[in-house]
Chains A and B, each alone.
Chain A
Amino acid sequence: MVERGTGLDVAGLEAMAKRCRRHIVKMVHDIGAGHPGGSLSAIDMLVGLYGHRLRVDPSDPDWADRDRFIMSKGHASPGVYAALHERGFITAEDMASYRRLGGACQGHVDMKWCPGVDFSAGSLGMGLSFGMGCAIAASLDGSERTSWVMLGDGELQEGQVWEAVMAANHHEIGNLKAIVDRNGIQNDDFCEVQMRVFDVAEKFIAFGWAVKEIDGHDMSAVVEAIDWADSVTDGPACIVMHTVKGKGVSFMENNPKFHGAAPNPEQYELAKEELA
């Protein structure tokens, strides 16, 4: 019997998240490219999911009745790889392959390359639809497995997201959970400058979803929100987590430059000190 999560308490999860932050910065630094900002904003929730909730089996990554986690903002792959490593799916050597030829850790998460990855992402706006397909399949199977999908806030500008949001409510898909990483920054600049997304929670509520807003860096709140989302079974549920892009590394925090850039050697040393 595969249990949910790992049994770690909040303090244990917080320690896991700190290790993950170090993995993220190292991966991006070592290859000199990648997306640290959105990985660091998402990592507390990723740790909450892998450490507290998901029924997955590292010894059998393709186990048919596993919960699904779909990283729709697939560029935040260092965050996923860090969590998968901590959960026992991939090795440190795999993490070192990030963005390298033949590596398990492709630039954007890819189900064909990396054990534990359920969706090949990289083009924004597609993950919630895919997660819905997985959730419908679970219902047809009479299984209690659940689909968890993480989206970026900039990603909400893609029209397909709202096709999926509408369909999930129409079909009352109770085993579909969306998590929006509301870090306020997208590729070129702040969302506020590029394309305002306004009140995300209000939008999901208008489409008939159950919604909870949290501080995405408060591990107790993360765990509570996951449990809350699980308790919603009559329709889709969304956690809007307010986060800081680059969280944990001072010069990356709330800095659009570190959406998709690696730290230089001096910055890397500083980041390691801050994450020690």
Chain B
Amino acid sequence: MSAPSGGGASRDGYGQALLAMIDDDQIVVLEADLGKSTKSLFRAEKPGHTISLGIAEQNMMLVAAGLATSGYVPFASTFAIFTERAFEQVRNGIARPNIIVHLCGSHGGIHTGTDGSSAQSIEDLAIYRTLPNMTVLHPSDDVSAKALTLALRNHDQPSYTRTARNKVVRAYSEESAAKLVIGKGHVHRRGDDVAILACGVMLNEALEAADTLATQGIQATVVDMHTIKPLDEALVNELSLNCGAIVTAEDHSIIGGLGGAVAECLSANIPTPLERIGVADRFGESGDSDELLAMLGMKAVDIVRAANRAISRK
């Protein structure tokens, strides 16, 4: 299946969505000295509704909560890894009272590359997924990130969206992205032998893997599971019945993220062979994104092998 040409980073989609809401006076944008990096492009256009909070993430979370209880819709961003520093603020100050704040953690995953392991958040999806009331998103490219960020405008729960630093081949057009719904996986191709559930930058690897599998006579379903929570359990159940073998692919620890969520779902509903592609309980290191993906066993070729393993376990 050919993806629309060009490339885009999901962090750019976040910024584009904020700009698209520039005339909405309920929107406030919060930054912690990484607005340029997270593509929080609002500031230049609407400084009065942009609040710079310096390198102080804990404060930012609660300032956002205060704004939200006063009628505003805050979008607060920093690097994914630095949102984690304020996890307890998110837990007690946002999720627990169910205050509608939208967090964006950019530069997530090992894909962020040469900055090295201190910047490579590989546990953010897992920790935010444990919080009641939280919606957890991880879009794949700029077009889908824009659509999903815009969908948050009227979302009735707090959220965490992980975006990525680097451009990837776009898997969406404006038209296809407009059909994205929070909480519903987006099926990119259908096949009955194995289902690959991917998120973020791994969607491209999954699509490439499906092409390779097709040359081996194996037909794969590929789903963009852009919403980690609430997980689209109906779709997971349907695919476990139809395909009988599942592979998850994420730029995240295989513990607790998409793979963990799918494992929980399968074991509770329709036990099905599952192979998890992701970071296998280790930290990353400096390197080019592709080098790191290869070293950590997260390339399309690794997904192909995992698919064959899952099928052999049927």
Listed in ascending order, the chain A residues whose CB lies under 8 Å from chain B are: 64, 110-112, 118, 120, 122-123, 125-127, 129-138, 140-141, 147, 159-160, 163-164, 166-167, 170-171
Contact = CB atoms under 8 A, between A and B. Distances in A.
Contacts of B53: 163, 167
How big is chain B's contact interface, by range?
20 to 34
Contacts of A127: 62
Contacts, number: 99
Nearest to A112: B97
B22 interface: no
B59 interface: yes
Contacts of A134: 66-67, 69-70
Contact of B58 (A122, A138, A159, A170): A159
A120 B67 contact: no
B93 interface: yes
A129 B61 contact: yes
Specify the main secondary structure of chain B where it touches its partner. helix
A176 B61 CA distance: 17
Ranked nearest first, the 10 interchain pairs of A and B with the lowest CB-CB distance are A133-B66, A137-B70, A129-B62, A163-B56, A163-B59, A133-B63, A160-B58, A134-B66, A120-B97, A130-B66
A163 to B, nearest CB: 4
| Residue with the greatest number of chain A CB neighbours at <10 A, chosen from B28, B59, B61, B64 | B59
Interface of B: 28, 48-49, 51, 53-54, 56, 58-72, 74, 88-89, 92-93, 96-98
Nearest to B26: A140
A170 B54 contact: yes
A171 B31 CA distance: 14
B62 A133 contact: yes
Contact of A137 (B54, B61, B67, B89): B67
B65 A133 contact: yes
Contacts of A140: 28, 48-49, 72
Contact of B92 (A120, A141, A163, A171): A120
Nearest to A120: B97
A173 to B, nearest CB: 10
B66 A131 contact: yes
Nearest to B70: A137
A130 B65 contact: yes
Contacts of B28: 136, 140
B51 A171 contact: yes
B63 A132 contact: yes
A126 B56 contact: no
B62 A111 contact: no
